[in-house]
Structure 1
Amino acid sequence: MERSYRKKKLGGYPAAGVVVSVTLALFVVGLFGLLIIYSRQLEEQVRQNIRMQVYLKSNLTENQRLQIENKLLSQQFTAKEKGKAVTFISKDEAAKKFIAETGEDFTKFIGENPLKDAYLVNIDPSYHTPQQMEKIKADIQKMSGVFQVFYVEGLIESVNDNVMKIGLFLGALILILLITVILLINNTLRLAMFSQRFLIRSMQLVGARNWFIQRPFILRAAGYGLLSGVIAAALMWLLTDYARTRITDLNLLHREDQFFILLGTLLLLGMLVAVLSTFFSIRKYLKMSLDQLY
């Protein structure tokens, strides 16, 4: 009798199936959330490599060169948030790099270094449109001491198109996934509540108020949701830690602050969906007639 009572106590539906189902659902959500974080970081890495190449005229003095650098730094289109906004590459550095990559010393054949001093200018992502890039190119070209301005024109359109397509695809996928996960957790808890429907009715018959009946179920659901979130977050932590040791390039895309926000979201989502599903399920059984319970 004691054992049977414990199985049927108020709010005491089986935990294992609920926790496993909710954990798996949250873990899948976490994987797609991590995919979105990495895709955004990859986009940022690509955009940081979109630079305007500014070649200088020969025989400029050091003072003239620095004036050009200061002008480039003062422009609104120059990205200043991360890394070095304007990088100077002398013609000697460019020649050494070319020789190291090709293995051919072209200066021996020509007798001089025909390359020019240059600046690599990081362009703010808000200016990454073909029209704005062309305007920037024209404005820099007008600066005194500038010989030529160059950038990879097709790269801007390609990046923008791919970012839009990937964003729409991931957005639609995560929306479908969230709806599926919510329905899965909701159905799991509804099935768990189904086994408690007669106990709920018994409590009503002895005069228990609705909130008195609902409270243990909601508290238990919140606990299960939190436990599931903790397990899912731990699995995510272990998976990403292992993946980053095996694939070192992932460290370039991994952001600790965004990752912790994702883990916190899993905890809140597990509790919220579990509590709401339990609340509405109990309301349903509280309003049912005895015939409907059967």
Structure 2
Amino acid sequence: MSANHQSHTKRRLISSYFTTIISISLVLFMLGILGLILLNTQQISNHVKENIGFSIILKGEIKDVDINQIKKTLDAETYVKATHFIHPDSAAADLKRDLGEDFISFLGYNPLLPSIDVKLNADYANTDSLSIIEADLLNNPNIKEVIYQKDLVSLVNQNVKKISFYMLAFSGLLLFIATALINNTIRLSIYSKRFLIKTMQLVGARHSFIRRPFVLQGIGNGIVSAFIAISLIIVVLYYFQQQYPELIDFRNFELYGALFLIMIILGILISWISTNLAVRKYLRIQTGDLY
């Protein structure tokens, strides 16, 4: 009977240990994912902004040499990320495919003009910069007009600012929830050992002596959980780097190193504080209240 009881107790302790580790790991993993998003907010924002661009509509009688000159001038500008010349025939083929009709046969000629699509660097993806760029480009006699969606540019910039604010607020909330979850997990783990704590106290062990093994185990759990969470984060990073290489840069070792260090510190700190508080609670409680 005693052997069965010991075996059952051992299984419960092992189960409690793994439950604690998994719970803390998942919470730290969520915090790590949020940290990744926050650390890459600027890069994500730049990626979105750099998909904003404009089209330069050239005059129909423009010569190839003038087109090349305009394109070279644009490529040398600091606000330009990339340019792409679109020949009227290519534009007509694309439009024909989209419409599903041969509009050239109907009209008898190709009404489309040559154009250059320009992608902007993120710092210039705003209405003020675009207005200045547009005015400068229209001084060129070979450029007929500059087309871009002003409302879309304003909307993107406004949404980027809003998302950044909401992410910071959500980070604070998630950190609070994560701390509460880890605290509850550790308290449940300590609860299963409350009789052991009280027994040690009754035989005269000092509070610091009783707390020490629990605190050390809590810190160990925090470290193990942090490394498990970091391993999961690395897997996620690798996946997204394969899917979106422009968003994830593995060369930024300092950034990711700082994130992983923060995760380890959080795992240790929250586990240490929660374990201390939980053990202290059962040291102060009366024996009759343990049941």
TM-score, length basis structure 2: 0.70
Distance 1:141 1:271 in 2: 61
Please give the residue correspondences for 1:1-294 in structure 2 after superposition, counting only pairs within 5 Å: 15-30=17-32, 32=34, 43-79=45-81, 85-190=82-187, 192-193=189-190, 195=194, 197-198=197-198, 216-232=213-229, 251-252=243-244, 255=248, 257=250, 261=256, 264=260, 266-278=263-275
Q: Could you tell me whether the CA contact under 8 Å between 2:53 and 2:119 is conserved in 1? A: yes
Sort the Cα spacing of 1:179 and 1:60 in 2 relative to 1 into closer, same or farther, 3 A.
same
Sort the Cα spacing of 1:40 and 1:104 in 2 relative to 1 into closer, same or farther, 3 A.
farther
Q: Could you tell me whether the CA contact under 8 Å between 2:79 and 2:120 is conserved in 1? A: yes
Sort the Cα spacing of 1:43 and 1:207 in 2 relative to 1 into closer, same or farther, 3 A.
closer
Q: CA deviation at 1:149?
A: 0.7
Which deviates more, 154-163 or 53-62?
A: 53-62
Sort the Cα spacing of 1:231 and 1:97 in 2 relative to 1 into closer, same or farther, 3 A.
same
Sort the Cα spacing of 1:197 and 1:150 in 2 relative to 1 into closer, same or farther, 3 A.
same
Which deviates more, 145-154 or 42-51?
A: 42-51
Aligned-partner SS, 1:107:
helix
Q: CA deviation at 1:191?
A: 5.3
Sort the Cα spacing of 1:157 and 1:290 in 2 relative to 1 into closer, same or farther, 3 A.
closer
Q: CA deviation at 1:94?
A: 1.0
Q: CA deviation at 1:270?
A: 2.4
RMSD of Structure 2 on Structure 1 (CA): 4.4
Which deviates more, 28-37 or 158-167?
A: 28-37
Q: CA deviation at 1:148?
A: 1.0
Write out per-residue CA displacement over residues 111-135 of structure 1, whole angstroms, 9 at most, x where no aligned residue.
3322222111111222222222212
TM-score, length basis structure 1: 0.70
Distance 1:102 1:176 in 2: 49
Structure 1 runs not aligned, ≥5 long: 80-84
Aligned-partner SS, 1:121:
strand
Sort the Cα spacing of 1:202 and 1:145 in 2 relative to 1 into closer, same or farther, 3 A.
farther
Aligned-partner SS, 1:15:
helix
Aligned-partner SS, 1:112:
coil
Matched-pair identity in %: 27
Distance 1:45 1:207 in 2: 59
Q: CA deviation at 1:199?
A: 6.7
- Structure 1 counterpart of 2:56, one-letter code: V
Distance 2:197 2:140 in 1: 79
Q: How many pairs does the alignment contain?
A: 272
Distance 1:179 1:164 in 2: 23
Q: CA deviation at 1:273?
A: 2.4
Distance 2:199 2:106 in 1: 94
Aligned-partner SS, 2:146:
strand
Sort the Cα spacing of 1:37 and 1:92 in 2 relative to 1 into closer, same or farther, 3 A.
farther
- Structure 2 counterpart of 1:184, one-letter code: L
Q: Could you tell me whether the CA contact under 8 Å between 2:58 and 2:144 is conserved in 1? A: yes
Distance 2:110 2:22 in 1: 68
Aligned-partner SS, 2:136:
helix
Structure 2 runs not aligned, ≥5 long: none
